[in-house]
């Protein structure tokens, strides 16, 4: 088990030893975002113990905003409190299935809406991002292009509520990525994206929903297989 440990540091508050409420909230938001970004980026892999003192030194702030940021990350399901500190959680197969159950329902609906509401600009952006995905030189570029394509499709659905929920589900999944996707898997993703795009372009909402559900069902299975490999 990894441990993110170091000595602590403190920073003075505002006048009279207190920090204005608005500034405190902004600092918590900022460090919540920074720690979350590092979690998603793999800086703290599952099994890592996060300590307030170490994080306050890393980010150059007092422990208070770090503590509150960790509390929010715990509520969001990224970490859990233990006797040693906050532990970066490992996703279980049951959790991944639950996340994908919600994602398939929402993103299929979003794809159907995109077929009904997409603009010429939406279609142009999706085509451009699909081309970037095909030209990607490595796994990191493919992953980034894939995520951008899915976000652009959500934008094409013109429903901010659905897009917001899907962004949150993406964050929950981002800590764990399938480690064994083959070239055939990658090629199939390109084909599935093309099928979804064709349905959206043609204005066929039912076909767009079905194609998205099929695509995400396969991605769910890949993640479950990857988790099994990781634990073996």
* Structural domains in the chain, sorted by start: 3-88 (1.10.10.10), 93-231 (1.20.120.530)
Residue 71 has pLDDT above 70, yes or no: yes
pLDDT in tens, 127-186: 999 999 888 888 778 888 999 999 999 999 999 999 999 998 988 887 766 556 788 888
pLDDT of residue 178: 55
Instruction: Say which residues have a Cβ less than 8 Å from residue 110's Cβ, sequence separation at least 6.
Output: 153, 154, 157, 159, 162, 163, 166, 212
Checking if the pLDDT of 3 tops 60, the result is no
Asked if 178 contacts 226 with a C-beta cutoff of 8 angstroms, the reply is: yes
Helix ranges (H only) for the chain are 21-41, 52-59, 63-75, 93-117, 120-135, 139-157, 160-174, 183-202, 205-231
In angstroms, the CA 34 to CA 46 distance is: 17
Query: Which backbone phi and psi does 93 adopt, to 5 degrees?
Result: -55, -35
Question: How do residues 89-117 score in pLDDT, each as one tens digit?
Answer: 887 889 899 999 999 999 999 999 999 99
The CA distance from 74 to 76, in Å, is 5
On the question of pLDDT at 123 being above 80, the answer is yes
Residue 1 has pLDDT above 90, yes or no: no
Q: Does 7 have pLDDT greater than 60?
A: no
DSSP label of 158: T
């Amino acid at each position: 088990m990894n441990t993110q440990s170091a000595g602590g540091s403190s920073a003075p508050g505002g006048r009279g030893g207190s920090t204005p409420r608005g500034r405190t909230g902004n600092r918590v938001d900022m460090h919540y975002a920074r720690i979350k970004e590092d979690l998603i980026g793999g800086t703290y892999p599952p099994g890592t113990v996060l300590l307030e003192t170490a994080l306050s030194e890393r980010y150059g702030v007092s422990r208070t905003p770090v503590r509150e940021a960790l509390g929010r990350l715990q509520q969001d399901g990224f970490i859990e409190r233990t006797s040693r500190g906050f532990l970066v959680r490992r996703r279980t197969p049951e959790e991944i299935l639950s996340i994908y159950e919600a994602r398939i329902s929402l993103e299929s609906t979003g794809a159907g809406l995109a077929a009904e509401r997409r603009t010429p600009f939406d279609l142009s952006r999706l085509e451009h991002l699909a081309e970037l995905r095909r030209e990607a030189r490595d796994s990191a570029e493919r992953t980034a292009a894939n995520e951008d394509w899915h976000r652009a499709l959500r934008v094409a659905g013109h429903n901010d509520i659905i897009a917001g929920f899907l962004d949150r589900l993406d964050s929950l999944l981002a800590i764990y990525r399938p480690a064994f996707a083959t070239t055939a898997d990658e090629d199939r993703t390109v084909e599935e994206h093309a099928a979804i795009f064709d349905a959206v372009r043609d204005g066929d909402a039912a076909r767009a929903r079905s194609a998205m559900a099929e695509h995400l069902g396969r991605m769910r299975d890949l993640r479950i297989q990857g988790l099994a490999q990781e634990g073996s």
